[in-house]
Amino acid sequence: MKDEGRVRLAEPADAQAAPLRYEIDGSVGLVKIDHAISTQGVTFVAGWTSDGSLLVELASASGVTGADLVRTVRDDVASGLRQPATNRHGFVLIATPPPDEPLNICFGQQEARFCLPLTVIENFQLDARISCAPGTFAALSARRVGSRDWRLFLSLLPERETSGLIVEGIIDVAYSSPVEANGFAQGWVTHKPDTLVWIEDDQGRAHDLEEGYRWVRRDVRSQIHHLPGPGQETGFHLRTRFHPEARSIRLAAANKDGSQRLAARPVSHLPFEAKEVVAALAEATTPRHDLPARIRRVDLPVLAAARASEREVWASAEIRERMVGSVPSNPTVSLIVPLYGRVDFIEHQLLEFDRDPAFIQDVEIIYVLDDPDLENPLHFDAHRMQAVSGPGFRWVTTGENRGFSGANNLGASVARGRVLCFMNSDVFPLAPGWAIHLAEVLDRHGDLGMLAPRLIFPNGSIQHVGMVARWRPEWQLFTNHHPSMGMPTSADPSHGLTRVPLVTGACVALPREVFERIGGWDEGYISGDFEDSDLCFRVRDIGRTVGYDPRVELLHLERQSVELTSDDALLKERMTLLNACRYNQHWHEQVREIAE
């Protein structure tokens, strides 16, 4: 034997040709190198040692390469040595050594080891892939799904046939945008333990299922009786960023034995409008009690990307403006009223505005048409309504449905008043002077950034005297609450300006400089929920207060336009939950401080 101090090696010392006998400090063992191969700059070395605790390293002229070492079970070796397989005799080394430098493989203990020259070949045939698969899978698992290195290691795993499945599953719903990397997929999957599962498109992009929302699919358990355990979260709902040209997707998996792909299914085009994306997301059913968790993890990012694309289009859209009758040339207040679903309320509002002298010189009226289907009717009816009802007004549109916040921001962009008053189309004054009163109160109180009036129902009972936040334990969310709603106005303790935590957006006035400083209404919300309380917190965030003044009283029919957005109760609930989750995500700590 060749003697190297504390180490003795049998001759010839070539562990690639046959098992090599060694002796370290009197302890005898065997090492064998089965494969030493290189591909795409990555070197794989697979083999076994009789001592599963033996140190194994790769070294070059530059020093130790820092290779990943994976110990594996080798039943064949354990049987030949008559040792338990749990000793993990097998090893796989994976490294990216410096190019063109000879490599050595080193075995031993910390202070006593031996190194052998390594002959590496460019040959990664099936037998080598199988032998290296446990190490390749370990390297794959340590990389981010879809990354360049991850794809490399995946390509080096042996592909499994459909027999001996390591994964079963179905993609029930799949949407992907044809213009950007945005979409979602839902389905179920079951697999063997220690298995990595992902979803991939036909362009090579992949997503780890664990990035999504997972839950126990009891319907799957009732049909698939060989699931690993009763608590396995077989259901998945995942935000995807597939290639815009992707036409199909499929489930795939890998473990120490190789990789496997299931049959592909086509993807549907994700709608462009965020409101339609909400409807598509509603098709994907998950446990109702846990909807907020799914929404935060998946739905909100999908919607945010869709709304961002919409806003890019809005930014370049032409604003079409029409003037009907005579309007003030230098108004103090700009009254901005979004229109959606119906325009007949204009005539009733104009009748009330006509009783107020301030609308001749001090208050301009801006109607924002947020419903493309109504542009033609409004075009032909506007002059008739103004001739019958009184004050002149402007109406603007871009031919798109921007939602409550987007419509308000559009109106503000063409407004000329130093005070901006936002009003729903189903709100009606009960007496003249209300708009100028709100402006004067804002002028007298410099700390005030936002002011709302009292709103009452047609029967005279309270609809709004300010808002508070209330915890909803069933959803684990804060929502808005109207105290004293439905009570007689005598139940309102306020008689003048009152600072309140929150106010409704059905009628609210802000100084223009405050509105511009906070960036206007947040257009990320869908369908008229929580935009107003969000606006309140952004006003509070710059050190201003929010106020309510019962000396101004208006009639509110409440949600007459919002009710037209959908006849589907489930879809309405989903929209409200989406907005609530977004609101809580942004303002949870601040809301908690003011909650009842």
Taking only the tens place, the pLDDT of each residue in 164-199 is 667 889 999 999 998 788 999 999 998 888 899 999
Residue 291 covered by a domain: no
- The answer on pLDDT for 596 being more than 70 is no
Question: How many Cα atoms within 13 Å fall on the side-chain side of residue 367?
Answer: 29
Determine the Cα angle at 277 with ends 275 and 279, to 5°: 80
Q: pLDDT at position 225, please?
A: 60
Residue 7 sits in the same domain as residue 41:
yes
Q: pLDDT at position 563, please?
A: 47
The residue out of 270, 300, 329 marking a domain boundary is 270
Q: pLDDT at position 274, please?
A: 92
Q: pLDDT at position 68, please?
A: 84
Q: pLDDT at position 198, please?
A: 95
Residue 278 covered by a domain: no
Q: What is the mean pLDDT of residues 463-467?
A: 96
- The answer on pLDDT for 228 being more than 70 is no
Q: pLDDT at position 164, please?
A: 61
Residue 313 covered by a domain: no
Dihedral of CA 463/464/465/469: which sign? positive
Q: What are phi and psi of 61, to 5 degrees?
A: -60, -25
Rounded Cα distance between 68 and 50, Å, is 20
- Mapping DSSP onto H, E and C, the string for 24-88 reads ECCEEEEEEEEEEEEECCEEEEEEEECCCCCEEEEEECCEECCCEEEEECCHHHHHHHCCCHHHC
pLDDT digits (tens, 9 = 90+) for 360-414: 999 999 999 999 999 988 988 888 888 877 799 999 999 999 999 999 999 999 9
Residue 308 covered by a domain: no
Q: What is the CATH number of the domain that holds 571?
A: 3.90.550.10
The residue out of 95, 112, 141 marking a domain boundary is 141
pLDDT digits (tens, 9 = 90+) for 289-337: 999 999 999 999 999 999 999 999 999 999 999 999 999 999 999 999 9
Peptide bond into 338 cis (omega under 30): no
Residue 106 sits in the same domain as residue 171:
no
Rounded Cα distance between 509 and 512, Å, is 9
Q: pLDDT at position 313, please?
A: 93
CA distances from 447 to 119, 147, 444, 496 (A): 79, 52, 9, 16
CB atoms within 10 A of CB 502: 25
Q: What is the CATH number of the domain that holds 105?
A: 2.60.40
Q: pLDDT at position 25, please?
A: 87
pLDDT digits (tens, 9 = 90+) for 90-102: 999 988 888 888 9
Q: Which two tokens stand for residue 169?
A: 């599953």
What are the residues whose beta carbons fall under 8 Å from the beta carbon of 296, sequence distance 6 or more?
Answer: 581, 585
Rounded Cα distance between 437 and 332, Å, is 11
Considering only residues 192 and 235, tell me which one the structure prediction assigns the higher pLDDT. Answer: 235
Using a cut of 0.85, tell me whether the model's pTM lies above it. no
Rounded Cα distance between 173 and 238, Å, is 10
Q: What are phi and psi of 205, to 5 degrees?
A: -80, 140
Rounded Cα distance between 347 and 378, Å, is 11
Stretch (H or E) spanning 588: helix 569-594
pLDDT digits (tens, 9 = 90+) for 48-89: 999 998 999 999 877 777 788 888 888 889 999 999 888 889
Residue 54 sits in the same domain as residue 199:
no
Rounded Cα distance between 550 and 500, Å, is 12
Instruction: Give me the number of domains the chain comprises.
Output: 3
Q: What is the mean pLDDT of residues 424-428?
A: 96
- The answer on pLDDT for 485 being more than 80 is yes
The pLDDT-based confidence of 564 (bands split at 50, 70, 90) is very low
Q: Which two tokens stand for residue 538?
A: 């952004």
Residue 558 covered by a domain: yes
pLDDT digits (tens, 9 = 90+) for 486-531: 999 999 999 999 999 999 999 999 999 999 999 999 999 987 689 9
Contact 238/298 with Cβ under 8 angstroms?
Answer: yes
Stretch (H or E) spanning 156: none
Rounded Cα distance between 127 and 66, Å, is 25
Residue 230 sits in the same domain as residue 365:
no
The pLDDT-based confidence of 163 (bands split at 50, 70, 90) is low
Residue 126 covered by a domain: yes
Contact 397/368 with Cβ under 8 angstroms?
Answer: yes
Share of the chain above pLDDT 90, in %: 66
The residue out of 141, 175, 196 marking a domain boundary is 141
Residue 292 covered by a domain: no
Q: pLDDT at position 560, please?
A: 53
Q: What is the mean pLDDT of residues 538-548?
A: 97
Residue 228 sits in the same domain as residue 365:
no
Maximal CA-CA distance, the chain: 114
Q: What is the CATH number of the domain that holds 221?
A: 2.60.40.10
Strand ranges inside 177-255, DSSP E: 183-191, 196-201, 206-208, 213-215, 235-240, 248-255
Count of residues in the chain: 596
Which range of residues forms the domain containing residue 264? 159-270
Across all residues in the chain, what is the average pLDDT?
90
- The answer on pLDDT for 41 being more than 90 is no
Residue 517 sits in the same domain as residue 407:
yes
